[in-house]
Amino acid sequence: MKKITIGSALLSLLVGLAIAGCSAQPLPVKPTPTAAASAKGIPAGTSIIAEGKVTPVKSAALSMANSGIIAELLVKEGDHVDANQVILRLAAAQQKAAVAQAQANLQRAQAARQKLNEPPDDTQVIAARADLANAQAALKQAQAAYDRVGGASNPQVGMLPTTLALEQAMNTYDAAKARLDTLLKPPTAADIASADASIAAAQADVQRAQAVLADTELHAPFGGTLVTFDAKVGEEVTPGAVIAQLADLSALQVETTDLTELNIVKVQVGDPVTLTFDAIPDLELSGKVTRIRTLGENRQGDIVYTVIVTPNQQDARLRWNMTAKVSIEAKQ
């Protein structure tokens, strides 16, 4: 009877535990976020790192338009030049002579035009009248001599010197009369138009000659530093060959060199930038993206785009073509 009692109690305990296990509620499980639940796009403040180089905001490669021999150097490499300052001159004796000749032709054309508006000179008119009177008297004498030998009725008249003298007298008379008529006749509209056309043509010749002369000088297109200057007196220059590099070193910028097409889409004009420099480890400059070139370039198989970064301040230690690390804070 005692064993039966213990077995019954054990059985009751097991049944109770089973019932309790079936009725217990499971503990809540905290859900794990999935990748689909994360925010899409580039988080604000994401940095895009690129390499860059320091360049002047304004620079130019200078060359001559025409060939020639260098006659004079007015500056040297490293000098600061002002806008339109002459850097060098070529030998220009022929060009100067051409300008002088063209100007003389212009002055003659202008004088001829001015003369059309002036009354005839009294001295010239008096002289022309006297010449005409003398020619007329000589013609009468020649005509009388011609008539005395029979004139046209003489079959031998063509062989006589009186006939030749008459022809010469007639030519002299016609020339004297034409000269007087020219002095007394007012200019016609055609005369004025012709004189004006002559002036215009002469002015064009002067401008062409002056342009050729101007091309014998090399001028600075803007104020800046002559960074390179490869020229010597006596050397011949080749048209289009770079003689000098001019740059305004007071305003420098940074151009990226390896910003790929995958990253350029995240960059916008106005994005803030942090600049550091290999050559100046203690220098860090802030700036912003001021320009993005539209055309990409193929560089070692990658399409890269140039981004122009303008520093918020300049540093005198920076030099053209120094390398820079560009950290762009993308806003997308």
pLDDT in tens, 244-267: 999 999 999 999 999 999 999 999
CA 57 – CA 254 distance, rounded (Å):
9
CATH of domain 46-58+251-330: 2.40.30.170
Strands, sheet with 236-237, edge to edge from the N-terminal-most edge strand: 217-219, 86-90, 68-73, 236-237
Mean pLDDT of 29-33: 42
**284-293 tens-digit pLDDT:** 999 999 999 9
Task: List the beta bridge partners of residue 188.
Answer: none
DSSP reduced 3-state for 191: helix
CATH 3.40.630.10 fits 60-90+216-247, yes or no: no
How does DSSP classify residue 58?
S
**Mean pLDDT of the chain, nearest integer:** 86
Tokens 């059985």, residue located: 11
**197-228 tens-digit pLDDT:** 999 999 999 999 999 999 999 999 999 999 99
**35-85 tens-digit pLDDT:** 333 333 445 557 899 999 999 999 999 999 999 999 999 999 999 999 999
pLDDT level of residue 32 (50, 70, 90 thresholds): very low
Instruction: Provide the percentage of residues in the chain whose pLDDT is more than 90.
Output: 68
- pLDDT number for residue 45: 55
CA 79 – CA 82 distance, rounded (Å):
10
* DSSP secondary structure letters along 271-327: -EEEEEESS-TT-EEEEEEEEE-SS-EEETTEEEE-EEEEESS--TT--TT-EEEEE
4 pLDDT higher than 50: no
23 pLDDT higher than 60: no
Q: Are 300 and 243 in contact (CB under 8 A)?
A: no
Cβ atoms within 10 Å, residue 28 = 6
The CA-CA-CA angle for residues 117, 120, 121, to 5°, reads: 125
CA 153 – CA 83 distance, rounded (Å):
87
- pLDDT number for residue 170: 93
Domain residue ranges of the chain, discontinuous segments joined by +: 46-58+251-330, 60-90+216-247, 97-206
- Give the containing element (helix H, strand E) for 174: helix 161-184
How does DSSP classify residue 72?
E
- Give the containing element (helix H, strand E) for 22: helix 2-23
CA 133 – CA 326 distance, rounded (Å):
98
229 pLDDT higher than 50: yes
pTM above 0.85, yes or no: no
59-68, 109-118, 159-168, 246-255: range with lowest mean pLDDT: 159-168
Question: What is the token pair recorded at 6?
Answer: 């213990």
Closest by CA to 231, choosing from 106, 123, 79, 121, is: 79
